[in-house]
Amino acid sequence: MTVAPTPTSQPVRRPTHYLVRVLLTALLIASTSAAARAGEITDENVDAAIAAAKTPADHEALAAFFTKKAEAALASAQAHTRMTTSYTGKSRQSIVMHCRTLATSYRKQAQDYTALAKEEEHLAKGTTKPAPGGMKGM
């Protein structure tokens, strides 16, 4: 004996409802991702971020970016300083000089990025007082 299916009281979903939901979900995900990307400062968009900076949050984000760049430059300086003790042999002198030159350059970059971060922190606070030893001539 077979049982006949009984009608249900649930409405029949049309394919357009499903399509609309999928499209709305995709739109929401895309706009959220774009918003997240818009807030991330990178080497590729830092110039645009500087030009567009108007709010304290914009300047705080730039300060954080420059602080991170300063930390990376300092890490590179330290790595090259450590490398000077790793080389031996006839070519040691020229390689050590190369590493010392790079370490000095990276330390200078770290100082410059730190000064930029301080400038952005002042701008975030609404002050225009330049940081001591700021970016003169740049």
Span 21-40, pLDDT tens digits:
655 555 555 543 343 345 69
For the stretch 83-132, pLDDT in tens is 988 887 777 888 999 999 999 999 999 999 999 999 999 999 987 655 55
Instruction: Report in angstroms the alpha-carbon separations of 53 from 15, 40, 61, 117.
Output: 45, 13, 9, 14
Task: Check whether 1 has a pLDDT greater than 90.
Answer: no
Q: Where are the domains of the chain?
A: 17-52, 53-138
**Residues 9-26, mean pLDDT to the nearest whole number:** 58
Tell me the C-alpha distance between 80 and 102, whole Å.
Answer: 7
What pLDDT is attached to residue 24?
A: 57
Q: For residues 137 and 65, give the distance between their C-alpha atoms in angstroms, rounded to a whole number.
A: 21
pTM of the model: 0.64
